[in-house]
Amino acid sequence: MEVTYSKEELNFAAEVRDFVSESLPGDVARKVLEHKRIFKEDVQRWHAALHEKGWIAPHWPKEHGGCAWNAVQRHIFDVESAALGAPRLSPFGLHMIGPVLIAFGTEDQKKYYLPRILSGEDWWCQGYSEPGSGSDLASLKTKAVRDGDSFVINGQKTWTTHAQWANMIFCLVRTEVSERKQNGISMVLCDMSTDGVEVRPIVTLDGEHEVNEVWFSDVKVPVQNLVGEEGRGWSIGKFLLSHERTGIAGVGVSKRELAYLKHLASEEMYEGKPLLEDPIFKDRIAELEIDLLALEMTVLRVASRDDSGGEPGPEASILKIKGTEIQQRLTELQMEVAGLAALPYLPMAWGDSFIGKTPGPAYAAPLAARYLNMRKTSIYGGTNEIQRNIIARRVLGL
């Protein structure tokens, strides 16, 4: 066992830092660090920089254009780039459908889609959840019926993140009704500009537009867009979900937000001293920091186990649960630092071009909205209750 970073690993961290400082657009970094609204173009610019460097797909095998970094390298990259304000890349291509195609796709699919994911030409979204099928995903009803060389899709997906930005969607659809609901599900890829696809916005608690309903009426998709075998989409879908869960720990982002929290608390005065020196507040921060350190070590332990196996195990659920709890508590404490100043609701102040004055300090303006928005993290990607069910069943054998 060796639980400190080796010299090579430290060198790698320095290399990452150098690259990020040089290549991450400054305005994008500032928006991320100050919790301003992030647009598609912001993410795309960072994506392009990483693509050019050849670092866009750390977890993909080399033959498909990835870096084949090990778990420690990936972690270092995550932490270093987040610290400098790198925006979260869209996970749907790089972390979800990409690995699925590598594992289950046809040669043609790999040849066509993988380079487009790497270059950022395609923006993917995820069509899993339906109004009646959230946690119980396998009960999904969106239907695809074979008609010559096409599938004809009818139904509705919901909560689809950034469907308004996407040109491609991967969907789980029912191609056959069978006794066992997990059978008869297939995964298909669909161009968002196909006739019959309609995107309707859903506004979230914070007043922002991030998720959507996606409606399908008689949407024709060529049979070549089927991924894997017809009717066997469920196991593919689950493979994808376990990949979604590892990224979700968000250690890098939480470390950055913890540092920001401490910075804010050191500037905000309370009883003539910085809030950071208030014994109660200090204790809360310490508690959180210890949890984060434990999570970081767990990420490294779990991930290095994956390195030998390939597919992340159900332990990934621990990362999802702890990671999201920590992310949420960070938003709570940041809001507490701002106190009254977090209460005004001024969505225009979250824009980068805002030049007006907010009633309180500028940092406070987006904190309440961010707190509300981050409640999503314990719901999406399989709720934290479902993650506990997975651990109970698959790890504990209960």
Partner 1 sequence: MNFSLTEDQTLLVDALKRFLDKNYAPEMRQRMVLDQEPMSREVWTGFASLGILGLTLSEEHGGFSGSGIDVMVVMRELGKYLVIEPYIPNVVIAAGLVELCGSDWHKKVLLPELIKGESTLVLAHTEMQGHQDLSHVETIARQEGGVWVLSGKKTLILGGASADRFIISARTSGSSGDKDGITLFIAESLDESISGQVYPLLDGSRVLDIQFDNLRLGSESVIGTLDRAFAPIECVYDRAAMASCAEALGAMETAYEMTVDYLKDRHQFGQSLSQFQVLQHRAVDMFINIEEAHSLLTLAAANAWGDSPYERARSVSAAKSLFARAARFVSQQAVQLHGGMGMTYELPLSNYVKKLTMFDALFGGERFHRSRFSNLRKEEADTTGFVSPKKSWKQL
Ligand X SMILES: Cc1cc2nc3c(=O)[nH]c(=O)nc-3n(C[C@H](O)[C@H](O)[C@H](O)COP(=O)(O)OP(=O)(O)OC[C@H]3O[C@@H](n4cnc5c(N)ncnc54)[C@H](O)[C@@H]3O)c2cc1C
Q: In 3D, which of 373, 366, 363 has the Cα closest to residue 346?
A: 366
Q: Please, which residue, 135 or 217, has the CB nearer to ligand X?
A: 135
Positions 106 through 145 that interact with ligand X (CB under 6 A): 125-129, 134-135
Tokens of 110: 């790999």
Q: Which is nearer to ligand X, 192 or 338 (CB)?
A: 192
Beta bridge mates, 216: 155, 197
Please say whether the beta carbons of 249 and 299 come within 8 A. Answer: yes
Nearer to ligand X, 81 or 160 (CB): 160
Q: φ and ψ at 137, to 5 degrees? A: -60, -35
Instruction: Lay out the site mask for ligand X across 195-224 (x = CB under 6 A, - = otherwise).
Output: ----------------x-------------
Interacting partner of 160 out of ligand X, partner 1, none (Cβ under 5 to 8 A depending on kind) = ligand X
Return the number of other C-beta atoms located less than 10 Å from residue 367's C-beta.
23
Q: What is the DSSP string of 19-76?
A: HHHHHS-HHHHHHHHTT----HHHHHHHHHHHHHHT-S-TTS-GGGT-----HHHHHH
Least separation in angstroms between residue 81's CB and partner 1 is 27
φ and ψ at 217, to 5 degrees?
-125, 115
Residue 275 binds which of ligand X, partner 1, none (CB < 5-8 A, kind-dependent): partner 1
Q: Is 257 a catalytic residue?
A: no
What residues line the site for partner 1 (CB under 8 A)?
A: 129, 132-136, 139, 158-159, 202-207, 211, 268-272, 275, 278, 280-281, 328, 332, 335-336, 339-346, 359-360, 368, 371-372, 375-376, 378-380, 383-385, 388
Binder of ligand X out of 159, 165, 216, 363 (CB under 6 A) = 159
CA distance 246 to 243: 6
Residue 383 touching ligand X (CB under 6 A)? yes
Largest Cα span, the chain:
76
Number of residues that bind ligand X (CB under 6 A): 19
Whole-number minimum distance, CB 64 to partner 1, in Å? 33
Cβ proximity to ligand X: between 70 and 383 the closer is 383
| Shortest Å distance, C-beta 347 to partner 1 | 10
223 contact, one of ligand X, partner 1, none, CB 5-8 Å limit per kind? none
d(CA 358, CA 362): 6
Residue 195's SS3 state is: coil
C-alpha closest to that of 144 among 214, 223, 213, 199: 223
Q: Catalytic pick from 80, 130, 230, 244?
A: 244
Active centre residues (catalytic): 244
Q: Interface with ligand X by CB under 6 A: which residues?
A: 125-129, 134-135, 159-161, 211, 376, 379-380, 382-383, 385-386, 389
